[in-house]
Amino acid sequence: MAFNSKTKKPISTSQSRLCTTLFFIVLFTIPALLLLHTPTVSLCTTFSGNVKPFSGDLLAAKFAWNRLPFDEHHPPPTPLKIAVFSRKWPIGTTPGGMERHAYTLHTALSRRGHQVHVFTSPPPDGETPTSSSSPHIHCHEGEPGRWRYNKAWEQFVEENQTEPFDVVHSESVALPHWLARNLKNLAVSWHGIALESLQSDIFQDLIRKPTEPLSPAFNKSVQMVIPKVLNEIRFFHSYAHHVAISDSCGEMLRDVYQIPDKRVHVILNGVDEDDFNEDSKLGNSFRAKIGIPSNASLVLGVAGRLVKDKGHPLLHEAFSRFVEKNPDAYLIVAGSGPWGNRYRDLGPRVLVLGSMSPTELRAFYNAIDVFVNPTLRPQGLDLTLMEAMMSGKPVMASRFPSIKGTIVVDDEFGFMFSPNVESLLESLEAAVSDGSKRLAQRGKACRQYAAAMFTARKMALAYERLFLCIKNNTFCTYT
């Protein structure tokens, strides 16, 4: 019998790290993907009218509270004193989604008669907070735009001693867990968690071309996110109540992060219903202003930051192919970022308009036939989808659990595609085949659904009910 006497080469440190990383990817990602792609057993299909009315302990509900009717015509039974921790507050700048959510929500709660105190970072140089008494803005000292939670906490403690807050609201980890664990009346809104960001890294690498080398940043990112997921699973329990902004995120918090059911609540984001509505006259005027002919076969629109993780490599390549067969189609790009110039290179059928004011966005949404969101970020929910639907437009979006289970819950609302060029091309062809009349019908259905689900008023009423439940610390009955 012959024996192999060759000495085995020792495993290098880098190989060991790679093996460990791959192990954890398999351990976490595959179960998570299976979980996220399991159909949501909730009230995701209320549009069909087949769901029975809910009655019972609202804190135990596993569906989005937006689906319930709340009485908006009467003032709240008890005006609340609410503390809000937000890294930034949109003062004179173009805000991100999290800041827009905080502003829309707490402005609406202020209008309902609640006393809202926002603890946030200093505004940009030359900008000052509004002088209104509510929301009352507390900007801590320091560098503009740089969040210092310890300084904000000192301000909170001082104000809390004057008159205790009924409830505390943290936008994601604006308030660290070692401070949050001492607050029984706290709710934290999650706009994206680490396990979802791991998916985002995977999808972004999958669109890499065969000739494009693997980015060193990808390996580093993947290696860093695994410990972050484990850390989140451990410290998330320090927060008394969790608000998920999509049905799929609520499932993940309950099933993977192991947060007890009565501490996880799904409340979808909302947009100001006065800012976004149907106005065909405004849309036609905007088309004429930017030079789109009346006989255009299809006008697509995309809005937001023009960066890779928002899926612009997908849309850029897909539309470049699509317009060769459909020369009467147009794409309007609203936003700024590195992909702006690349879109301009596609020729006159692509109009890059840069960042827009709310008034300009209203015209933009009304000017398009279909709104496209090719995002590669499964985490959170993009407000632009809600704005487009509120404006009476069908949507075309990546087939992620958060979008599929919360936004495009009915095929009538638009088109979904896998995050690759071929699938997006199929959706573009389906949209042009529908024609303007059919797309307008889809838009009407979107408007009806969005007006019932995605308004700032509905979001504020849901949060108000949650905050009242937290303040009373009793069985929160809904009938």
Give the pair of three-digit tokens for residue 419. Answer: 């995050």
Residues 91 and 224 in one domain: yes
Task: For residue 178, tell me if it sits in a domain.
Answer: yes
Q: What is the pLDDT of residue 11?
A: 45
Half-sphere exposure of 406 (CA within 13 A, CB side): 32
466, with CB counted inside 10 A (0-12, 13-18, 19+), is: buried
Q: Which domain holds residue 397?
A: 280-454
Q: What is the pLDDT of residue 1?
A: 39
Task: Pick the range with the lowest mean pLDDT from 120-134, 213-227, 387-401.
Answer: 120-134
Which CA distances in Å does 200 have to 98, 156, 225, 288? 18, 35, 11, 38
Mean pLDDT of the chain: 85
Residues 449 and 462 in one domain: no
Residues 259 and 286 in one domain: no
**% of the chain exceeding 70 in pLDDT:** 84
pLDDT tens readout for residues 79-100: 999 999 999 998 654 566 778 8
* Residue 226 reports pLDDT greater than 90: no
Q: What is the pLDDT of residue 2?
A: 41
pLDDT tens readout for residues 423-457: 999 999 999 999 999 999 999 999 999 999 999 99
* Residue 103 reports pLDDT greater than 70: yes
Q: What is the pLDDT of residue 92?
A: 53
5 φ, ψ to 5°? -100, 10
Q: What is the pLDDT of residue 80?
A: 96
Q: Can you tell me the mean pLDDT for 273-298?
A: 94
Task: Pick the range with the lowest mean pLDDT from 26-40, 200-214, 324-338, 346-360.
Answer: 26-40
Q: What is the pLDDT of residue 91?
A: 66
pLDDT tens readout for residues 191-212: 878 777 777 777 777 777 777 7
Counted domains in the chain: 2
* Residue 381 reports pLDDT greater than 50: yes
Please say whether the beta carbons of 446 and 395 come within 8 A. yes
Task: For residue 339, tell me if it sits in a domain.
Answer: yes
Task: For residue 398, tell me if it sits in a domain.
Answer: yes
Which residues have C-beta within 8 Å of that of residue 295, sequence separation ≥ 6?
328
* Residue 342 reports pLDDT greater than 50: yes
Half-sphere exposure of 328 (CA within 13 A, CB side): 8
Residues 67 and 101 in one domain: yes
Residues 178 and 71 in one domain: yes
For residue 210, give the CATH number of its domain. 3.40.50.2000
Residues 342 and 253 in one domain: no
Please say whether the beta carbons of 211 and 440 come within 8 A. no
Residues 397 and 467 in one domain: no
Q: What is the pLDDT of residue 361?
A: 93
Task: For residue 231, tell me if it sits in a domain.
Answer: yes
Task: For residue 313, tell me if it sits in a domain.
Answer: yes
* Residue 324 reports pLDDT greater than 60: yes
pTM for this prediction: 0.84
**% of the chain exceeding 90 in pLDDT:** 65
Question: Which residue would you say has higher pLDDT here, 434 or 20?
Answer: 434
Q: What is the pLDDT of residue 130?
A: 54
Residues 191 and 312 in one domain: no
- What gap in Å lies between CA 413 and CA 430, rounded to an integer? 13
Place of tokens 């997006």: 424
Q: What is the pLDDT of residue 50?
A: 37
| H helix count then E strand count, the chain | 15, 15
Q: Can you tell me the mean pLDDT for 406-432?
A: 95
Which helix (H) or strand (E) segment holds residue 472: the answer is helix 456-472
Task: For residue 381, tell me if it sits in a domain.
Answer: yes
* Residue 374 reports pLDDT greater than 70: yes
Q: What is the pLDDT of residue 475?
A: 63
Residues 111 and 218 in one domain: yes
* Residue 19 reports pLDDT greater than 80: no
Residues 304 and 254 in one domain: no
Task: For residue 387, tell me if it sits in a domain.
Answer: yes
Residues 105 and 199 in one domain: yes
Strands (E), 94-198: 115-120, 136-139, 167-171, 186-190
Q: What is the pLDDT of residue 22?
A: 47
Task: For residue 13, tell me if it sits in a domain.
Answer: no
CA proximity to 467, closest of 108, 178, 156, 223: 108
Residues 258 and 299 in one domain: no
